[in-house]
Structure 1
Amino acid sequence: MIPQNEIREKAREQGVPVSTIERDYAQNWLLKALSSLPLLLKGGTGIRKVYIGDYRFSDDLDFTLLEGVENDELTNRIKNAVAIAREESGINFSDDIETQENENGFEISVYFQIMQRGESRTKIKIDITNEENEKILLPLSVRRIIHPYSDTLEAEIRVYTLEEILSEKIRSLFQRTRPRDLYDVWYLWDRVEKKKVFEILPEKFRRKNVEMDIKGFEQRKNDFKSAWESSLKHQLKALPEFEDVFSTVLGEVGKCVLK
């Protein structure tokens, strides 16, 4: 495990809380241990962990399950992965793992301590979507985990392409009001092959029975704005201006309707 001073220094350099760096570091070791499971990494964590090392930090780990697994079996496999991560990293991962089934799959809570003492723990939430609830439309990628810390971590993990991540982030804008989705769409828009995004976007929406209601999205502007700083300031050193981000995303996503 890296020294606590390294964690503090990283937090200072990145302009984020110490807990954000602790979680980011622990996530990497947990990802390495989970890489042998039939899971496909996606979402904001997928962007940071294997594509863009200086991307925003992420609180959760998001996956799509590649095969059917029962609750008990999945819990046991996660517990085994946590034990491996604890042994390999020296991080005090807890054996206390909580698993809940939901309409999309599973939500699993993993707890750990690095700088905390006593009963205080940091949580990593793992969201796993069942294979039947999400259709993967582009070939998956296998990429090396980016580990910007002084200890050695070498592992590869299966992950969505950036184009598939972006397509699901666009869909999410019309399903929920989470500023991180807005930020991710804004950031990724000029960094992907948009032709691929446009090709798979209709099926992504159809699969979840979601309508691309641009007017409804625009009407939720104040909801996004009110949660902008509280949702993202602990994940970024410099938060872009909300008005610039929203207007850009509104204009670009509006073009998708015309495709």
Structure 2
Amino acid sequence: MIPILEIKEKARTLGVPPSTIERDYAQNWLLVYLSEISMALKGGTGIRKVYFKDYRFSDDLDFTLIQHYDSEVLKGKIEQSIINAREDIGIAFKDDISFIPTRSGHRAVIYFSIIPSSRTSLIKIDLDLTEPENEEILLPVENKPIFHNYSDKIESNVTAYSLEEIMAEKIRSLFQRVRPRDLYDVSQIADFIDRSQVKSILEQKCRKKEVIIDSEIFRDRKERFRASWDTSLSHQMHALPDFEGAYNRVLQEIEYYKKLELITN
């Protein structure tokens, strides 16, 4: 494990809380030890861990399972991964995890600490695991090296969504809930994706969740996105981009796909 001083210095340099760095570091090693489970990393964490190494930090690890597991078998695999990471790396992961059924699959709640602290609460990482029948992976997954911006080295790969599939699900998410991180992610990766690939899967992705892409609905949600922009993202990066610029960039993307009449009632 890296020295605590390295965590504190990186937090100071990047302008984020030390707990953000602790979580990022622990996530990386969890990815190494979870790699034997047949699943694909997705979401904002996927963007940071395998596509853009200086991307915003993320609180959770989101996966879609590639094959179905009995819930007790899956829980056991996660618990063994945590034990191995603790013994090999020295991160103080707690033995007991909460393993909770969700509408789309399972959530494993993991607690740990690295920096000794007077705080009463441990740091939490949620593993959200979507069952394959609840989210079909439509584009080929990629085997990508894990970015690890720390002095100890990770030479390991993780199975991840393509950037285009992440984009399609992020666009859909804008109409499922109001989470500023989805708005941020769409605005940041829009210039790095192949629109034709996103176009090829977006309708099917939305139909699966009964979501309609509608720029008027998005406009109606603007102030709700704005209201939680700073509070939701400030611990994940030092300098937030301008909300108006991000919102308008995302609106352009929504209007592009809507104009193609990909999503209909």
Name the TM tier (shorter chain): over 0.9
- Counterparts of residues 206-245 of structure 1 (less than 5 Å): 206-245=207-246
Distance in 1, matches of 2:92 and 2:177, equals 34
The residue aligned with 1:109 is 109
The residue aligned with 1:132 is 133
For residues 66-97 of structure 1, the C-alpha deviation after alignment (integer angstroms, 9 at most, x for no partner) is 11112211111100010111112111011010
Distance apart, 1:251 and its partner CA: 2.1
Distance in 2, matches of 1:243 and 1:234, equals 20
Distance in 1, matches of 2:195 and 2:252, equals 15
The AA in structure 1 aligned to 2:133 is: E
For residues 190-247 of structure 1, the C-alpha deviation after alignment (integer angstroms, 9 at most, x for no partner) is 0111111111111111111111122111101111111100110110111001111111
Distance apart, 1:120 and its partner CA: 3.3
For residues 29-50 of structure 1, the C-alpha deviation after alignment (integer angstroms, 9 at most, x for no partner) is 1110001111110000001011
The residue aligned with 2:51 is 51
Unaligned runs of 5+ in 2: 261-265
Contact 2:215 2:255 in 1 (8 A): yes
- Counterparts of residues 246-257 of structure 1 (less than 5 Å): 246-257=247-258
| 1:17 partnered with 2:17 | yes
Distance apart, 1:117 and its partner CA: 4.2
The residue aligned with 1:170 is 171
Unaligned runs of 5+ in 1: none
The 3-state SS of whatever aligns with 2:228 is helix
How many residue pairs get aligned? The number is: 259
Contact 2:213 2:254 in 1 (8 A): no
- Counterparts of residues 18-167 of structure 1 (less than 5 Å): 18-117=18-117, 120-167=121-168
For residues 122-175 of structure 1, the C-alpha deviation after alignment (integer angstroms, 9 at most, x for no partner) is 000111100000011111100111111001221111000000000100000011
For residues 14-72 of structure 1, the C-alpha deviation after alignment (integer angstroms, 9 at most, x for no partner) is 11110000000000011100011111100000010111100000000000011111221
The 3-state SS of whatever aligns with 1:99 is strand
C-alpha RMSD over aligned residues: 1.0
Q: Which moved more, 1:97-106 or 1:111-120?
A: 111-120
The AA in structure 1 aligned to 2:216 is: K
